[in-house]
Structure formats: C-alpha cells, structure tokens
A and B are shown apart, each in its own frame.
Chain A
Amino acid sequence: DVKVTQSSRYLVKRTGEKVFLECVQDMDHENMFWYRQDPGLGLRLIYFSYDVKMKEKGDIPEGYSVSREKKERFSLILESASTNQTSMYLCASSPRKGDEKLFFGSGTQLSVL
C-alpha cells in the first residue's frame, strides 16, 4: 500500500515563527500536493509539484513556499506564521500526469497562536 507520511499530527507555533511541514511518500510518485482544509471552505490547493525541484502555485500560495529536493519528499514552509494559517494541512501524492488517483497523508493540525 502507498504510504504518505506527514511528520507531525499536531503542531502549535507562535505568530512570526518559520514553520516546516514535511511530507514523505514511499511509492516513487511523481506528483505531490499540499492542501489546507478549513470548515466551510473545503480543500484548497496551496502548491504542487510534478517533478523533483519543480513547483507550481495552487489557488492560495500567498504566505507559503515549498521545497522538493528529493522525489519522495515535499516540504511546505510558512515563512512567518500568522493566525490565519491555523488549519488542517494535508499532503497528497499521485503516480504521474494522467494517473491522478490521489493518496493522502493523515494531516497536520497546525495552530498558530
């Protein structure tokens, strides 16, 4: 079975801190995604990557950056955390373009105080 692992289940940070959310997948998938999920707003795409060292902006990239130095790892970075970034963050991967079946991690509930 495909496994997508997010490094933290719960995280509490202070406003202004730099925050790293890590995601690792073990099935050699080319595509990786970061979403945030908020009540009433559903899932929104932050950034995605179709290959190593490649990244593309999703629908809400402001305040975030990403890094994909290795195929299996996709990191989401909050350069200066703000309270409106309190959310559930979900990482996902899919095999390749044309095979979009998504596999999700368990999520990281981030609270910014």
Chain B
Amino acid sequence: KQEVTQIPAALSVPEGENLVLNCSFTDSAIYNLQWFRQDPGKGLTSLLLIQSSQREQTSGRLNASLDKSSGRSTLYIAASQPGDSATYLCAVTGGSEKLVFGKGMKLTVNP
C-alpha cells in the first residue's frame, strides 16, 4: 500500500530564505506527483504536477523535482515571503489511479 510522508510536520523560517520541502513515497510505480497548498480553513490549491516521465516542474518561485527511483520529491521555494505561509501537501497517483496524500507540512514565514 502506498504511503506518503512529509517531514518535518512544521517549519518556521524568517522571510527571504530559500526553502526545501520534502516528500517521500514507498511505491515508486507512480503516474504523477502533485504539490498542493492549503490555507487555514480552505480547500487545496494545486501548485505543480510532475508526470512520472518528468524530472521537474517550475512555476514562478516554485520548483518541484521528482526522483522516482528513490521515492522522493522536493518543493523548492525561492526567497520565501510571509504570504507563502500555509500547509503544503504532496500527493501521488499510482496504479489504482487514486491520489494518496501526505499529511502536509505547515510553513510559517516570519516577517
């Protein structure tokens, strides 16, 4: 059974730092991996989707990489801002075609 892990569960940093958020998964037979952002009390917003054939995707200050063989993905946030404060979740789609989510990492960027 696929399991997705995000460590640490929370991170607090000063504004301006470059950040790396980690995601690991146990079964490397995935179709794709997505990173989401969730603000308190709200739904999830898709940030980046990486297909299994891709190594990375970029959107603005965000860059996500995927290493299927090692079961890892990282989300890189450049020059963090207080507005980046949110919970970040990763999810993988595998053979069952259902997404399996990690429990998320709560990011706080302090001004």
Binding site for B on A (CB under 8 A): 4, 40-43, 45, 48, 58, 90, 92, 97, 100-107, 109
CA distance A42 to B100 in the complex (A): 10
B 78-111 contacts with A by CB, 8 A: 89, 91, 93, 97-99, 101-104
| Smallest beta-carbon distance B17→chain A, Å | 26
Q: Give the chain A neighbours of B41 by CB distance below 8 A.
A: 107, 109
Binding site for A on B (CB under 8 A): 31-32, 34, 36, 41-46, 49, 89, 91, 93, 97-99, 101-104
Count A-B pairs with CB separation below 8 Å.
48
Minimal Cβ-Cβ distance residue in B for A106: B43
Q: Is there contact, CB below 8 Å, between A102 and B98?
A: no
Minimal Cβ-Cβ distance residue in B for A104: B43
Q: Is there contact, CB below 8 Å, between B46 and A101?
A: yes
| Smallest beta-carbon distance A47→chain B, Å | 11
User: Pick the contact of B46 from A43, A45, A103 — CB < 8 Å?
Assistant: A103
